[in-house]
Structure 1
């Protein structure tokens, strides 16, 4: 009888609304733990080659260091947005570079899946498919799409992590050097650690052609550590964001309108011989009308 009562108590504890709410709060805390000032180490190496070309050469192993500020932009129950900014140069003469952005949406059903050649295919999932899950939507430096996927945050054995596999464009470090593949299948793991957080990646470099089966050209390992440091080290970046955040809010608003059309999206690589980020990084481009016109010019 005691065993039956204990089992019932356990079931009730797991299914009670309060327990579910506690889980969501743990998810939110884990996501927001990725905010702040971090010393970042970016590590990538090609691990396996499946090319049948005897002249094939793998990408060089890449290791970079940087100081990065992760700014909490939106903090809502079902949406958390974090803008990453790189701080390079010397402390007395820092240069600030707007970096990637990650949005986290709870039980989101609308997705843009990368399909190669600057095309994202719109996909709607059912509520049941995303129950209890968080979607991570990752954006380029100009807030155009990059990749996104939906999974459940896991809190077990003192660990908090989120894992997902999804398609993505070539990373910037490869884009100007490689033309022998056109899709990256990213295995992402975001784990909160005692030093900050870890972005652990197992990626496949894929050749995708219409009507044909994907061909895996090579595999790659990524291991990026974010070590938390005092926020004061990122003060120049904090100040830069305060001075420029209004412009980028206008950029996000335009992209939100584009994404809200819920249809496939194909983007031009360049307009007037310049990529989108070079247009938007222009300090003279600040008005909503001009921002809208610039972004629309890249949409096919």
Structure 2
């Protein structure tokens, strides 16, 4: 009897501990929302293969004003939409990040607009959060699972996963086709940072990789008053229904739990161009049709 009570007490304490850690995780994720002055910094650190066909990328430094909106929240899912402000007025729908608690379904990037479906066991993701990152058109980009760490004055999440070429390089580099990203998202006293240690890989049809180069990235998100991003907030109010329809369509594709392969262009236009040209009042039937045309 005493042993049973002891086991029951341990089980209750274990459950409470997990619940408390989960609340800390959610608080950290929500701290990424708001208005930020962002500095983007990337530099190629090592050229593993050095010849005339592999020219290193120039160091990239850029900055911008970004609004991060919490557009969905349930106990096990948070959806954060990034909106980039150009000249404080022009709004560009930027990347999106979903955070899913103890998620077991993954679409891992392989290469050439192809994502492989992978299912993990619940015990493999116990207490973890999956960060799913999407393109500006809400098509898949990359995702990975790990635990948030809240220790020694640090508050961060770290994962390594494969991704397509970044937007800054996909038009200028043809010598690699996979970016292995080690992503660190850390909450700081000034806002948050996104640190990257990346490997540029050339992957063949059998899945064999050749490392071409390595890269360091550091994006600094400095919190500013939300009023500086008012134009982005108003833009989202006017356009959120359109993009909710797009998200829901993509979710039906992900729910099939199978590999995804996408066309590069349809009618000589990439997907984001088709969607960015739409009016906010465009019907779901029309956005569904556009997305379906890109899925092979």
| CA separation of 1:193 and 1:13: change in aligned 2, threshold 3 A | farther
Q: Tell me the equivalent position of 1:86.
A: 84
**Pairing partner for 1:42 from 28, 40, 43:** 40
Q: Tell me the equivalent position of 2:191.
A: 196
Residue-pair matches, total: 288
8 Å contact kept, 2:54–2:212:
no
**Pairing partner for 2:68 from 67, 70, 85:** 70
More moved, 46-55 vs 150-159? 46-55
CA distance in 2, matches of 1:257, 1:16: 35
| Alignment deviations for residues 117-144 of structure 1 (CA, whole Å, 9 cap, x no partner) | 0000000000011111000000000000
Shift of 1:18: 2.0
Query: Are 1:30 and 2:31 counterparts?
Result: no
| Alignment deviations for residues 87-132 of structure 1 (CA, whole Å, 9 cap, x no partner) | 011x4xx100000000000000000010010000000000011111
Query: Are 1:273 and 2:268 counterparts?
Result: yes
Shift of 1:20: 1.6
CA distance in 1, matches of 2:207, 2:233: 48
| Alignment deviations for residues 235-260 of structure 1 (CA, whole Å, 9 cap, x no partner) | 01000000100000000010000111
CA distance in 2, matches of 1:199, 1:15: 34
- Partner secondary structure for residue 258 of structure 2: coil
- Partner secondary structure for residue 174 of structure 2: coil
8 Å contact kept, 1:42–1:63:
yes
- Partner secondary structure for residue 294 of structure 2: coil
CA distance in 2, matches of 1:195, 1:291: 38
8 Å contact kept, 1:13–1:19:
no
CA distance in 2, matches of 1:273, 1:38: 35
Q: Tell me the equivalent position of 1:141.
A: 136
**Pairing partner for 2:291 from 287, 290, 295:** 295
8 Å contact kept, 1:73–1:81:
yes
CA distance in 2, matches of 1:129, 1:275: 36
CA distance in 2, matches of 1:71, 1:201: 23
Shift of 1:212: 5.4
8 Å contact kept, 2:138–2:250:
yes
Shift of 1:283: 2.7
- Partner secondary structure for residue 172 of structure 1: coil
| CA separation of 1:145 and 1:289: change in aligned 2, threshold 3 A | same
| Alignment deviations for residues 138-192 of structure 1 (CA, whole Å, 9 cap, x no partner) | 0000000000000000000121100000000000000000000000000000000
Q: Which runs of 5+ in 1 are unaligned?
A: 1-7
Q: Which runs of 5+ in 2 are unaligned?
A: 1-5
CA distance in 1, matches of 2:248, 2:207: 37
Q: Tell me the equivalent position of 1:60.
A: 58
TM-score by length of 1: 0.93
Query: Are 1:110 and 2:105 counterparts?
Result: yes
TM-score by length of 2: 0.94
More moved, 233-242 vs 15-24? 15-24
| CA separation of 1:223 and 1:13: change in aligned 2, threshold 3 A | farther
**Pairing partner for 1:185 from 169, 174, 180:** 180
